[in-house]
Amino acid sequence: MPELPEVEVVRRGLEEILKDQPVLKKVELMRADLREPIPAKKISTLIGEKLLSVERRAKYLLLWTKKGALLSHLGMTGTWRVAPKGDERAHDHIYLHFGGGLRLAYRDPRRFGCFDYVKDPQKHPKLAELGPEPLNADFTGEVLWESLRGKTVALKVALMDQKIVVGVGNIYASEALFAAGIKPTLESRRLSKERAEVLVAEIKKILSRSIEQGGSSISDFAQATGESGYFQTTFRVYGRGGEPCVTCGQQVRTKILGGRNTFWCSHCQK
DNA sequence: CTCCTATCCTGCGAGC
DNA sequence: TGCTCGCAGGATAGGA
Residue A166: CB atoms within 10 Å = 24
Query: With a cut of 70, which residues of chain A have pLDDT below it?
Result: 1, 215-232
pLDDT value at residue A214? 80
Q: Domain A141-264 is of which CATH architecture?
A: Orthogonal Bundle (1.10)
Nucleotides of C under 7 A from a protein CB: 7-12
Q: Closest protein residue to C9 using CA and C1' atoms?
A: A1
pLDDT value at residue A223? 47
Radius of gyration from C-alpha coordinates of chain A: 20
pLDDT value at residue A213? 86
The Cα–Cα gap between A195 and A202 comes to 11
Domain boundaries, given as residue ranges, for chain A: 4-118, 141-264
pLDDT value at residue A1? 66
The Cα–Cα gap between A238 and A263 comes to 6
pLDDT value at residue A228? 53
The Cα–Cα gap between A70 and A45 comes to 10
Residues of A with a known catalytic role: 2-3, 59, 260
Is there a contact between A54 and A63 (Cβ–Cβ < 8 Å)?
yes
pTM: 0.95
Domain A4-118 CATH class label? alpha beta
pLDDT value at residue A109? 94
Mean pLDDT over the full length of chain A? 93
